[in-house]
Amino acid sequence: MPQNQQIVLDNRPIGEATVANFKLVTTATPELADGQVLVRHHYLSLDPYMRGRMNDGKSYAQPQPLGEVMIGGTAGEVVESRHPKFAVGDTVVGMGGWQEYSVVDGNAVGMLRKVSTTHVPLSHYLGAVGMPGVTAWYGLVKIIAPKAGETVVVSAATGAVGSAFGALAKARGCRVVGIAGGPDKCAYAVNELGFDACVDYKEHADAIGLSKALKVACPNGIDGHFENVGGMVLDAVMLRTNAFARIAVCGMIAGYNGAPLPMANPALILVNRMKIEGFIVSEHMEVWPEALTELGTLVATGQLRPRESVALGLAAAPEAFIGLLKGKNFGKQLVKLV
């Protein structure tokens, strides 16, 4: 059995996460038991939710244990199998974590899923046609539930979730406006992803300035918003919302380092009779087949052209992850392991 490089959480961050919170180790891969599958990971997914798991505090999921392999989505191939449903060479996605190989119980529901790379590249199953894409689908379809012609906004618009949200919303006849950081990302949102407009939050010092820019981009107000960031961005959006606006809260990356995120104008929730709903996509597995089918079609037909930032080698994962939290990635952040 091969030697396996792994990255474990060595210590918990105080304030901002750093590369020093992680440790690279090498272990022996155990022999397979009946029903188990050995997967060689080709790609590792890096996602903002991982930062919350690093804290030892109350959240929707248990904290990442110290000394154990960091949690994370993976895509790769079966290199050995003692399970009848999986054969050597099968391309699969799962939650293999920050490591080169994983041993998976082939009978465990939802732990390993075979995928086809005929029309969709393997890496996209960790982004547009994976958890991030389904996250966008659920927030749009089940919470915002837009009508054709309505205006919807998404923060972190060029990331894995935001780009999928844009394609899904355009397919439903919406005016889609992104919020992103920098002129290159905003140009990509409009020219490649098909957004109707994109506002560069880095050009604005506060929520009032950002809100004025949103007024120009959303002349008919905002009917639905998908929130990945929180803080100033959410305050700015709320100032532009219409009556009966719906806000799907997916992430609050502005507060992941422990700083409080006060809301500037909570009275707007009442004034505009807003619906604000947070959600965790893993709690809604019933929608995944429908969502993945639509997302796969959008990618295969070119209606969704996801962009990826790819770090090379497992040792590069911590630095790439820190960069993701600072917005340095452009599109889905991956680590290529093969």
Residues in contact with 62: Cβ distance below 8 Å, sequence separation at least 6, in sequence order: none
pLDDT reported for residue 253: 83
- Same domain membership, residue 252 and residue 121: no
| pLDDT tens for the chain, residues 1 to 338 | 799 999 999 999 998 999 999 999 999 999 999 999 999 999 999 998 999 899 987 777 789 999 999 999 999 999 999 999 999 999 999 999 999 999 999 999 888 999 999 999 999 999 999 999 999 999 999 999 999 999 999 999 999 999 999 999 999 999 999 999 999 999 999 999 999 999 999 999 999 999 999 999 999 999 999 999 999 999 999 999 999 999 999 988 887 777 788 899 999 999 999 999 999 999 999 999 999 999 999 999 999 989 999 999 999 999 999 999 998 999 999 999 99
For position 191, which CATH number holds? 3.40.50.720
CA 241 – CA 338 distance, rounded (Å) = 46
For position 12, which CATH number holds? 3.90.180.10
> Per the structure, how many domains does the chain have?
2
- Same domain membership, residue 137 and residue 277: yes
Residue type present at position 77: E
- Same domain membership, residue 330 and residue 270: no
Which residues, in sequence order, are bridge partners of residue 222?
241
Residue corresponding to tokens 């019933």: 286
- Same domain membership, residue 169 and residue 109: no
- Same domain membership, residue 147 and residue 110: no
CA 65 – CA 266 distance, rounded (Å) = 36
Residue type present at position 142: K
Counting every residue written for the chain, the total comes to 338
- Same domain membership, residue 212 and residue 168: yes
Q: Identify the DSSP state of 120.
A: S
Q: Which residues of 258-275 are buried (b: 16+ CB within 10 A; e: fewer)?
A: eeeeeebeeebbeebebe
CA 305 – CA 219 distance, rounded (Å) = 27
Residue type present at position 100: E
- Same domain membership, residue 177 and residue 237: yes
- Return the structure tokens found at 321: 């992850």
Name the phi and psi angles at 75, rounded to 5. Answer: -135, 135
Is 264 contained in some domain?
yes
Which domain range does residue 192 map to? 133-282
